[in-house]
Amino acid sequence: MTTKTITYTSTFEEDVVKGLTAFPKSLSSKYFYDKKGDKLFQDIMAMPTYYLTNSEFEIISSQKEAISASFQAENGFDLIELGAGDGKKTKVLLKYLAEQNIDFSYLPIDISQNVLDGLKESVEKEIPGIDIQPQQGTYFEVLEDLASYNTRKKVIMVLGSNIGNLLHPKAIEFLENIQEGMNPNDLVFMGFDQKKNPQTILDAYNDKEGITAAFNKNVLHRINRELDANFDVDEFLHWEVYDPETGTAKSYLVSKKEQEVRINKLELDVNFKAWETIHTEISQKYDDAVVSWLADEAGLQIANQFTDSKGFYKNYLFKK
Ligand code: AVI
């Protein structure tokens, strides 16, 4: 018998093999975000049922004075934003800081140079004179460099409840990596979506228009395109569950029938039984006790918190 060894040319390939040959099957939500996935996520953020955007926008708009006051330092500060995106919410804060003549630099960090170029252009147009220094890279690369940004106070900002896509041990690791790059006066300003009526959460992740379904299924389109596979995407259902006890929302793709999928580039055949699942994403919802536990595990403390009028969402300020 001869066994063929395939050398994987990317972690995407490796993760697809691992995820689709495991039981139960899974694929990481980080692979949702190609060009089409980025656009679908923008569309999700614009849906009224995806309340996270409006809640965080309300917090920043209505409490910008108090938020800015907590960031300020004698020699000014560097506002480092991880996963900057289109900056819609951040711009409200940046505008306010600029209007108050507060001394700060804005360092948006994103994996996509495209996103950063667009952001720089729009920020400079809307806030003339702002000191913006985009940095391209993954969270991991940037966090490694964080300790070297040592000239003045750092405020590290992560909006959008992005931390919710990590299981608790990974979330602690992420917070710990940030903490390790912080000096005693540095701060973290981070959004955490809160536990609430389970129906509100299900509606946010299972819209009638099918935008979230398309976002979830995009990972299959991506495998088809990039790894020369033949997923019949219509033969998979988007399915969302929310456990109000743990606060974990989970997304699945469910095979509607028994089927075999060929992934040519990986020389892999994947068999699905009828109603077999691929777990694709978690979107964790929090309360104060859990956030305080995560912070504590990572060597951080909650210094302040800001919430919206419905209590749907919170931005916490952490210190070392
Ligand atoms: C980016 N992330 C925080 C979003 C979330 O809410 O988990 C991604 C998303 N998934 C489905 N809808 C939005």
ipTM value, please give it.
0.99
Ligand 1 atom closest to the CA of 161, numbered from 1: 3
Describe the strand order of the beta sheet including 104-110 as a list of residue ranges: 135-136, 104-110, 77-82, 153-158, 187-193, 313-319, 301-307
Q: Which residue's alpha carbon is nearest to atom 7 within ligand 1?
A: 283
Residue 138 dihedral angles phi and psi, to the nearest 5°: -80, 160
pLDDT at 212: 98
Taking the C-alpha atoms of residue 221 and residue 283, their distance in angstroms, rounded to an integer, is 22
Structure tokens at 42: 């923008």
Kindly list the distances between the CA atom of residue 199 and the CA atoms of 1, 82, 162, 279, in Å, as whole numbers in the listed order.
Answer: 54, 30, 21, 21
Q: Which residue's alpha carbon is nearest to atom 5 within ligand 1?
A: 283
Query: Is the four-CA dihedral 267, 282, 188, 130 of positive or negative sign?
Result: positive
Work out the pLDDT band at 3, boundaries 50, 70, 90: low
Please give the distance, rounded to the nearest whole angstrom, from the Cα atom of residue 77 to the centre of ligand 1: 30
Ligand 1 atom closest to the CA of 282, numbered from 1: 7
Describe the strand order of the beta sheet including 25-26 as a list of residue ranges: 25-26, 277-284, 248-255, 236-243
Q: What percent of the chain has pLDDT over 90?
A: 86
Please give the distance, rounded to the nearest whole angstrom, from the Cα atom of residue 144 to the centre of ligand 1: 25
Res 78 pLDDT > 60 = yes
Please give the distance, rounded to the nearest whole angstrom, from the Cα atom of residue 37 to the centre of ligand 1: 11
pLDDT at 150: 66
pLDDT at 18: 97
Please give the distance, rounded to the nearest whole angstrom, from the Cα atom of residue 100 to the centre of ligand 1: 33
- Mean pLDDT within 269-273: 98
Please give the distance, rounded to the nearest whole angstrom, from the Cα atom of residue 160 to the centre of ligand 1: 8
Displacement of CA 75 from its chain's centroid (Å):
31
Structure tokens at 285: 């919802």
Structure tokens at 227: 């790894």
Residue 263 dihedral angles phi and psi, to the nearest 5°: -115, 95
Res 193 pLDDT > 90 = yes
Work out the pLDDT band at 265, boundaries 50, 70, 90: very high
Measuring from each residue's beta carbon to the nearest atom of ligand 1, which residues come in under 6 Å? Answer: 44, 52, 160-162, 164-165, 205, 212, 215, 281, 283
Ligand 1 pocket: which of 283, 284, 313 to mutate (most atoms <8 Å of CB)? 283
For the chain, how far is it from start to end, CA to CA, in angstroms?
A: 58
139-146 helix and 168-180 helix, angle to the nearest 10 degrees: 30
Q: Are 281 and 216 in contact (CB under 8 A)?
A: yes
Please give the distance, rounded to the nearest whole angstrom, from the Cα atom of residue 301 to the centre of ligand 1: 26
Residue 259 dihedral angles phi and psi, to the nearest 5°: -155, 160
Q: Are 84 and 116 in contact (CB under 8 A)?
A: yes
Res 52 pLDDT > 70 = yes
* Mean pLDDT rounded to a whole number for the chain: 94
Find which of 18-27, 132-141, 178-187 is predicted with most confidence, using mean pLDDT: 18-27
* Residue 225: strand, helix, or coil: helix
pLDDT at 85: 74
Structure tokens at 83: 């996963």
- Residue 73's CB: how many other CB atoms inside 10 A? 17
Please give the distance, rounded to the nearest whole angstrom, from the Cα atom of residue 131 to the centre of ligand 1: 30
Taking the C-alpha atoms of residue 115 and residue 7, their distance in angstroms, rounded to an integer, is 31
Structure tokens at 115: 């996103």
Taking the C-alpha atoms of residue 25 and residue 112, their distance in angstroms, rounded to an integer, is 28
% helix / strand / coil in the chain, to the nearest 5?
A: 40, 25, 30
Q: Which residue's alpha carbon is nearest to atom 2 within ligand 1?
A: 162
